[in-house]
A and B are shown apart, each in its own frame.
Chain A
Amino acid sequence: MEKIKVEICCGTACYLLGATRLMGIEQNLSKEMKDRVEFEVKPCLGLCNDERLGGSPYVRINGSEVLANATPDMVISRVNELLGREEV
């Protein structure tokens, strides 16, 4: 089964606007989830210059879906949704 890829931006803008709150996110995952999610930290997702997206810090899921103003809870619940969908 493909893992869900979560890219956390840690570029200047995202860092300054709170990306560090995401750095402990792994610890908040259940054991099963940990095996199904892959985290990567990125230098700049190139999203921070596009106002329409909603604002840093950004997280990108599976290479396309963007979460703006990302928090650990947001990321985890989105990952849960995706995992749930796969299960069905």
Chain B
Amino acid sequence: MHELFIEMECSQFTKTGQAACGDDVRFLTVDKEKRYIAALSDGLGSGVKAHVLSTMTTTMALRFLQSNLPTLESVEIIMDSLPVCEVRKISYATFTLFDFALGGRARILEMGNPGYIHLRGTEEIGPVSERKVQSEHWPDRGVRECDADLRAGDRIIFCSDGVTQAGLGERRDMKLGWRRSGVLKFAQEKIAADPEISALDLSRQIASTSVGITKGVCRDDVSCVVIYLRKPRVMRILSGPPFRRENDAEYARQANLGEDHVVICGGTTVNIIERELGAAVKISLADMREAGALPPIGRVAGVGIATEGILTLGRVLSALEEGRPINGEPAAARAILARMMRHDRIEFVVGTKVNECHQDPNLPQELELRRSVVRRIASLLERNYRKTVKIDYY
């Protein structure tokens, strides 16, 4: 279970004509506990007032969940703190809360929002258990509390009623709106077509499809959260020749991870891979002309992409440090950065032999800092991009 990556994403649209979104979504990861918390709240009405209600709700909810306050107590505090609507005499924002620690069951709390959807592949999975939590202060408001058994590959989807009610009273073919069943069917179709569709893509597609139902006009705020438990996407970056030549073969074997997941970084390194794996790198003069301010990028068929080493890694480091947009980078750095962003876990396999090629007195001195550049890239990826990183030395 520990080799799971939890992808939590949300897509939103604000009600047409409103300055602020009345829905609020917040995520929290508690690394120490390997715990993942998500909260979606839909504030009564729309615009700024709704925005304040929903933001108060999600903020309180995250705090209470994290501190393990009992459900009833949390819910009562939330409802008691929200101002009461003069007209409808109800004081609240609806919510869906998701709380999951790796190795355990997920707990989902819902009040007033459309019911969550749990999918394993395309199959809908019901909760393991479910109960109603009723507050004496708020007899007309019940909270549904469910326990769900989550496995690798599962998805949890929940949304505000702006999604399920899209088209309500407006489209003849959807008298009751898109409804939960429509969202469910849509998600199943998308997953059938692309079984590994990311949480972000799926939530985007659901949200934008719901807006499309009313021809792009949002009658209500729209929010869709998708949580996807998947095996982490792993990539490997091999750089530098191993200290001992005897280790070249084993080192090269680390490049067997599939072409989309491997970067070989450095000329000598590429030569080792070619020799050990019987593969050949292809770089053309055109690649060189399109390379921008770095040496060109090549392709080792069946293995991965190949780039120059230290200049390219240095450029990747500075782009991460400064948060520069990927698209403005030279081809080789752009390719590495784009791969890093697509993967959850980045493994560096670093050879530690001093590269004699860089001993030329005409070359700048900083060239031999491969190890420290890799370490700095690693810590930025962990800190700013929520990646897990591993570095192995050879």
Contact = CB atoms under 8 A, between A and B. Distances in A.
B288 interface: yes
Contacts of A8: 285, 288
B133 interface: no
B363 A16 contact: yes
A49 interface: yes
The 10 closest A-B pairs by CB, nearest first: A44-B267, A11-B267, A49-B356, A43-B267, A41-B283, A43-B270, A23-B288, A48-B357, A15-B295, A10-B295
B306 A43 contact: yes
B355 to A, nearest CB: 8
B268 interface: yes
B285 A26 contact: yes
Given A39-B285, A56-B360, A11 B296 contact: no
Contacts of A23: 285, 288-289
A42 interface: yes
B390 to A, nearest CB: 25
B284 A44 contact: no
Contacts of B357: 11-13, 44, 46, 48-49
Interface in B280-321: 281, 283-285, 287-289, 295-296, 298, 306, 308-311
Interface extent on A, as a size class? Answer: 20 to 34
Contacts of A20: 288
B285 A46 contact: no
Contacts of A15: 295, 308, 311
Interface in A32-67: 39-44, 46, 48-49, 55-56
A44 B270 contact: yes
A44 B268 contact: yes
Given A11-B308, A11-B357, A43 B283 contact: yes
B362 interface: yes
Most buried by B among A8, A24, A26, A43: A43
26 contacts: A8-B288, A10-B296, A11-B267, A11-B268, A12-B309, A12-B311, A13-B358, A16-B364, A17-B360, A17-B362, A17-B363, A23-B285, A26-B285, A40-B283, A40-B284, A41-B284, A41-B287, A41-B288, A41-B298, A43-B270, A43-B308, A44-B270, A46-B268, A48-B360, A49-B356, A55-B360
A57 to B, nearest CB: 11
A65 B59 CA distance: 70
A82 interface: no
A87 B363 CA distance: 42
Given A26-B285, A43-B306, A11 B295 contact: yes
A23 B288 CA distance: 6
A53 B112 CA distance: 78
Q: Which of B266, B268, B281, B285: most chain A Cβ within 10 A?
A: B285
Given A26-B285, A44-B267, 4 more contacts: A43-B270, A43-B271, A48-B360, A55-B360
A74 interface: no
Contacts of B327: none
Nearest to A9: B267
A42 B214 CA distance: 56
A28 to B, nearest CB: 12
A39 to B, nearest CB: 5
Identify which of B308, B356, B362 gathers the most chain A CB atoms within 10 Å of its CB.
Answer: B308
A15 B288 CA distance: 10
Contacts of A41: 283-285, 287-288, 296, 298
A48 B309 CA distance: 15
Contacts of B298: 41, 43
Given A10-B296, A13-B357, A44 B271 contact: yes
A19 B288 CA distance: 10
Nearest to B290: A23
B359 interface: yes
Interface string A62-87: 00000000000000000000000000
Contacts of A46: 268, 271, 357
Contacts of B283: 10, 40-43
A32 B311 CA distance: 37
Nearest to B360: A13
B5 to A, nearest CB: 33
Contacts of A56: 360
Contact of A12 (B267, B288, B296): B267
B197 interface: no
